[in-house]
Amino acid sequence: MSADDLFDYTDANRQAWNALEPRHRESRFEILAESFAKPGYNYLGEVERTLLKDLGVQGKDVVQLACNNGREILSIRNMGAGRCVGFDISDGFIEQGQRLAEIGNIEVELVACDIYRIPDEYHTQFDIVFVSVGALMLMPELPPFFAVARQLLRGGGRIFMYERHPVLDMYHWGDKGDPPTITESYFRKEPFMRTEICDYWTGKAVESPPMYTFHHTLGDIFGGLMGNGFVLEHFQEYQHDISEMFAHFAELKFKLPLCYSLVARLGDG
């Protein structure tokens, strides 16, 4: 994929997310605001909290890529992390996060920026890169994405990912009670384009400008990491859903992997 094509996709997604932001603000912002008004509030689940503690997050400098409205990086700061910075392509969601930070009196830096174009001033400034649910599917190419993560880290730093499992891209998510139906190849290369997006908080379809998402296999993920000098330290798959779209799959008799956690360290060479 050429650089022009890559940025055409990410610019289209910026417009789509900015168009969707008011709906998300309406459905969930006040709940988040009330939560972050409480000192020390932590939005993160048990998996993230446990692994971040194992990484010794207290006092560490952390950056989140594709941070949405910042609810996760704000929570990491409340866990005792040092400098915390979040980047997201959507101006509207960054504004939400900045408001949440003000409400909670939480010191973080939230920046509206294309992830592939993070300024050089942030290079080698962090101990942990955090990537959460839904981030990878918005990245047209993974090798340059992991190159950005490498540039942001100090030597020996780690990337921590807690993401939806790519096998889910094969399935039509349907309604609760519907059997899972395979509709796509696991090795699909073409992007998905949608103008009607499922709001993952309300479960309702929302019209939007064209949004593009991209399927990446586990091989793409591991290969992108290794190609950028990362060494795998932890990988675990889970039966629970973190996407807000496939929760009913967890109730199936024969289980699918619905999400995973991954930790990789930036090597010395």
- Residue 240 maps to which CATH number? 3.40.50.150
Q: What percent of the chain has pLDDT over 90?
A: 77
What is the tens place of the pLDDT at every residue in 53-90? 999 999 999 999 999 999 999 999 999 999 999 999 99
Residue 31 CB-half CA count within 13 A: 7
Q: Give the structural domain span for 181.
A: 3-266
Within the chain, strands assigned E span 62-65, 84-88, 109-112, 126-131, 153-164, 171-172, 181-182, 192-198, 205-213, 230-238, 259-266
Q: Between 13 and 1, whose confidence is greater?
A: 13
Residue 182, burial from CB neighbour count under 10 angstroms (0-12, 13-18, 19+)? exposed
| The total number of structural domains that make up the chain | 1
Answer whether residue 227 shows pLDDT above 60.
Answer: yes
pLDDT digits (tens, 9 = 90+) for 82-110: 999 999 999 999 999 999 999 999 999 99
